[in-house]
Amino acid sequence: MIIVDTISELKAALARQRSKSPNGFIGLVPTMGYLHEGHASLIRRASNECEFTVVSVFVNPLQFGPNEDFERYPRDLERDAALAERNGAAILFAPSVQEMYPSKPLTRVLISEVTESLCGASRPGHFDGVGTVVSKLFNLVQANRAYFGMKDAQQVAVVQQMVDDLNIPVDIIPCETVREPDGLAMSSRNVYLNAEQRAQALVLSKALDEAGKRLREPEMTAGRLAAEAAGLIRTAPLAEIDYVEVLKYPSLKQLDPDQRLAEINAQLILALAVKFGGTRLIDNRLFQLAGGEPHVQNDDEVKASPSYSH
């Protein structure tokens, strides 16, 4: 694996690879670094499915609000490089902010509707920054496939919408959320949690598991499912709820809160964002409703969803 920190070095390395293997698939795993097993699973899958895998490590200032954690976001490039190489990456692209934005960007990618709920509502401008940096990475790497974790399911939907709308020639590959043995979704921000916060954060996966058990109840509605999940989360004294919502997925359209779930023929998402101390965690669960037989989707069904291009 080679590490490059400039666009010119990245382009030169990719040109060498394409000259050696013109028809070989190139995979891209965009990250903000401080890599963990969730990122490792994306890199391994990309390496298994592509001849050549690029991992980007870039903490993108455009997707952070003025009171968010850009400055203190965890960074450890040496550790990231070791993990990326161990899991099959061929290039680690780790540019500086100056390299990616040599001057104030006057052009941004704005995606509407799918960005107006969940994190898009509570973090204004966040997905404008995501769309802008991801489009830059797509243009630079020109990968055949790009791999994203479903822990941030809204981000996957936003990126897929951008790719569809702009005819960007890359397949978006959504990958299963990777969890700790006790159920907590892996996140670079978990490092912020103290022991008590870490223990109480398990309420998120418990709320999702409980919701999965309640789907088959004939009178269950979207509003009731969200309310019950929020009620369970509030049993953790340190939990401060940002949102708990049930929406259609990937459109992220609102539902009639009083409509019975058994009457809805659609893929839905139960999405959570909850703060523990100063740490904001997100998690979600997808489930498919069809013919009155709701069930929680497994990873194979997520990957086979017609909403995504493979």
pLDDT tens figures, 218-240: 899 999 999 999 999 999 999 99
Query: Are both 2-175 and 188-303 of the same fold?
Result: no
Average pLDDT over residues 253-272: 93
φ and ψ of 298, to 5 deg? -90, 175
For residue 303, give the H/E element and its range. Answer: helix 299-303
pLDDT of 300 higher than 80: no
Average pLDDT over residues 230-259: 97
- Provide the percentage of residues in the chain whose pLDDT is more than 70: 93
The residue ranges of DSSP E strands in the chain, in sequence order, are: 2-4, 26-31, 52-57, 91-93, 145-149, 171-175, 239-248, 266-276, 279-289, 295-296
The domain limits of the chain are: 2-175, 188-303
Q: Are strands 279-289 and 91-93 parallel, antiparallel or unpaired?
A: unpaired
Predicted model pTM: 0.93
CA distance 293 to 248: 16
pLDDT of 304 higher than 50: no
Q: Which amino acid is at 213?
A: K
Mean pLDDT for all residues in the chain: 93
CA distance 72 to 251: 33
pLDDT band at 67 (very low <50, low <70, confident <90, very high): confident
Q: Which residues are annotated as a binding site for ATP?
A: 32-39, 149-152, 178, 186-189
Burial class (CB in 10 A: 0-12, 13-18, 19+), 202: middle
pLDDT band at 271 (very low <50, low <70, confident <90, very high): very high
pLDDT digits (tens, 9 = 90+) for 118-146: 999 999 999 999 999 999 999 999 999 99
Average pLDDT over residues 260-278: 94
**Residues identified as active-site:** 39
Domain boundaries 188-303, corresponding CATH code: 3.30.1300.10
Q: Which residues are annotated as a binding site for beta-alanine?
A: 63
The answer to whether the beta carbons of residues 268 and 117 sit under 8 Å apart is no
HSE, CB side, 13 Å, CA atoms: give it for residue 37.
10
* Residue at token pair 């789907």: 215
pLDDT digits (tens, 9 = 90+) for 73-119: 999 999 999 999 999 999 999 999 999 999 999 999 999 999 999 99
Q: Which residues are annotated as a binding site?
A: 32-39, 63, 149-152, 155, 178, 186-189
pLDDT of 293 higher than 80: no
Q: Give the tokens for residue 285.
A: 């669960």
CATH 3.90.1150.10 holds for 2-175: no
Q: Which residues of 68-94 are buried (b: 16+ CB within 10 A; e: fewer)?
A: eebeebeeeeeebbebbbebbbbbbbb
pLDDT of 256 higher than 60: yes
